[in-house]
Amino acid sequence: DGGITQSPKYLFRKEGQNVTLSCEQNLNHDAMYWYRQDPGQGLRLIYYSQIVNDFQKGDIAEGYSVSREKKESFPLTVTSAQKNPTAFYLCASSLGMLNEKLFFGSGTQLSVL
Amino acid sequence: GDSVTQMEGPVTLSEEAFLTINCTYTATGYPSLFWYVQYPGEGLQLLLKATKADDKGSNKGFEATYRKETTSFHLEKGSVQVSDSAVYFCALSPMKTSYDKVIFGPGTSLSVIP
């Protein structure tokens, strides 16, 4: 079955540490996205990528970095510069940027130790 | 800029009650409109969508009609079940350029009690 796989489901970060969240899709989608979800709030866009080797900042990119070396993979690194990283992180993909249907992974809950 | 507003939750209903979750939007042009649903501990799933004025999206007993005159896309279901307990997000896609992104509302939590 095609879909988006996020790992790990739970992740803990120590102060000053960088952590990387994995996102893999086998839907052959060109566009991929990272969202942050805080309790009781909507989704905020961190980064997005329309094509391999290209990505753009979203609304809250500070303290995060991404790469898109392969079509299937779009990992997100939460750096030590992100002072409030505790949140639920969601990866999504779509056929293209103008294709409105988003497919989501099951999320990663990041917490600070 | 473009935005989506939803009714505040949480909403608690008894099984078989009628559900309405209000959604209004601000956008120029003719955006596409969506409802996504998030079950506990999971990602979002597309529930239904409408791409032009007066379109009605429907799925799993849920319906929403694209009302351009009132800039609304309210979600309705005639008889809710316990399994409908989830967070519901209204969203829009400006659909003007390839740089336009989907804009989500804050979500409305629904709890259905037996």
Report the 10 Å Cβ neighbour count for A81. 11
Instruction: Name which of A24-28, A41-45, A83-87, B78-82 the model is least confident about.
Output: A41-45
pLDDT-based confidence at B99, cuts 50/70/90?
low
For range A41-55, the mean pLDDT: 92
In a mutagenesis test of the B interface, which of A9, A27, A43, A50 is the best target, namely the one with the most B β-carbons within 10 Å? Answer: A43
Tell me: the pLDDT tens digits for B29-68? 889 999 999 998 889 999 999 999 999 999 999 999 999 9
pLDDT at B62: 98
Of A92, A100, A106, the CB nearest to B42: A106
List of E strands, A8-107:
10-13, 19-25, 31-37, 43-51, 54-57, 64-66, 76-78, 87-94, 103-104
Q: Looking at residue B39, what is its pLDDT?
A: 93
Question: What's the CA gap between B31 and B67, in Å, rounded?
Answer: 12
Amino acid at A13: R
Residue A78 contacts B where some CB pair is shorter than 8 Å = no
